[in-house]
Amino acid sequence: MTACIVGWAHTPFGKMDAESVESLLVKAAGGALKDAGIEAKDVDEVVLGHFNGGFSAQDFTASLVLQTSPDLRFKRATRVENACATGSAAVHQGLKSIAAKQSRIVLVCGVEQMTTTPGPEIGKNLLKCSYVKEEAAIEGGFAGIFGQIANQYFQKYGDQSDALAMIAAKNHKNGVENPYAQMRKDFGYDFCRNPSDKNPYVAGPLKRTDCSLVSDGAAAIVLADVETALRMNKAIAFRAAQHVQDFLPMSRRDILKFEGCTEAWGRALAQAGISLDDLSLVETHDCFTIAELIEYEAMGLAKPGEGARILAEGVTEKTGRLPVNPSGGLKAKGHPIGATGVSMHTMASMQLMGDAGGMQIPGARLAGIFNMGGAAVANYVSILERLR
The pLDDT, as a whole number, for residue 169 is 98
7 strand-pairing partners = 222
Q: Which tens digit of pLDDT belongs to each residue from 47-73?
A: 999 999 999 999 999 999 999 999 999
pTM of the entire predicted model: 0.98
Give me the CATH code for the 3-116+214-229 domain, please.
3.40.47.10
The stretch 112-140 carries a mean pLDDT of: 93
The pLDDT, as a whole number, for residue 52 is 97
Amino acid making up residue 115: T
The pLDDT, as a whole number, for residue 1 is 79
In 262-351, where do the E strands start and end?
281-283
* Helix, strand or coil, per DSSP, at residue 375: coil
The stretch 160-179 carries a mean pLDDT of: 98
* Helix, strand or coil, per DSSP, at residue 348: helix
The pLDDT, as a whole number, for residue 140 is 85
Output DSSP code: residue 244.
E
Kindly write down the DSSP assignment for every residue of 175-230, as one continuous string: HTT-TT-S-----HHHHHHS--SSS-EEETTEEGGGBPPP-EEEEEEEEEEHHHHT
Give the number of other CB atoms < 10 A from CB of residue 193: 18
* Helix, strand or coil, per DSSP, at residue 78: strand
pLDDT at 139 over 90: no
pLDDT at 205 over 90: yes
The pLDDT, as a whole number, for residue 256 is 98
Tally of CA atoms within 13 A in the half-sphere of 198 that contains its CB: 5
Kindly write down the DSSP assignment for every residue of 13-74, as one continuous string: PB--TT--HHHHHHHHHHHHHHHHT--GGG--EEEEE---TTS-S----GGGGGGG-GGGTT
The pLDDT, as a whole number, for residue 30 is 98
Spatial distance between the Cα atoms of 368 and 38, rounded to a whole number of angstroms: 26
Spatial distance between the Cα atoms of 169 and 19, rounded to a whole number of angstroms: 30
Spatial distance between the Cα atoms of 388 and 385, rounded to a whole number of angstroms: 9
Q: pLDDT-derived band of residue 20, with 50, 70 and 90 as boundaries?
A: very high
pLDDT at 2 over 90: no
Helix (H) and strand (E) counts in the chain = 13, 11
- Do 384 and 1 meet the contact criterion of CB atoms below 8 Å apart? no
The stretch 98-108 carries a mean pLDDT of: 98
Instruction: Output b/e per residue, 1-13; b: 16+ Cβ within 10 A.
Output: bebbbbbbbbbbb
Spatial distance between the Cα atoms of 388 and 377, rounded to a whole number of angstroms: 34
Domain ranges of the chain: 3-116+214-229
Question: What are the catalytic residues?
Answer: 84, 335
pLDDT at 194 over 90: yes
Sign of dihedral through CA atoms 339, 161, 255, 301?
Answer: positive
The pLDDT, as a whole number, for residue 28 is 98
The stretch 82-86 carries a mean pLDDT of: 98
Task: Provide the residue count of the chain.
Answer: 388
- Do 370 and 283 meet the contact criterion of CB atoms below 8 Å apart? yes
Spatial distance between the Cα atoms of 380 and 371, rounded to a whole number of angstroms: 5
Give the number of other CB atoms < 10 A from CB of residue 194: 12
Percent of the chain with pLDDT over 90: 97
Q: pLDDT-derived band of residue 316, with 50, 70 and 90 as boundaries?
A: very high
Spatial distance between the Cα atoms of 293 and 57, rounded to a whole number of angstroms: 35
Q: In the predicted model, what is the mean pLDDT of the chain?
A: 97
Q: Which tens digit of pLDDT belongs to each residue from 236-295?
A: 999 999 999 999 999 999 999 999 999 999 999 999 999 999 999 999 999 999 999 999
Q: pLDDT-derived band of residue 141, with 50, 70 and 90 as boundaries?
A: confident
The stretch 132-158 carries a mean pLDDT of: 94
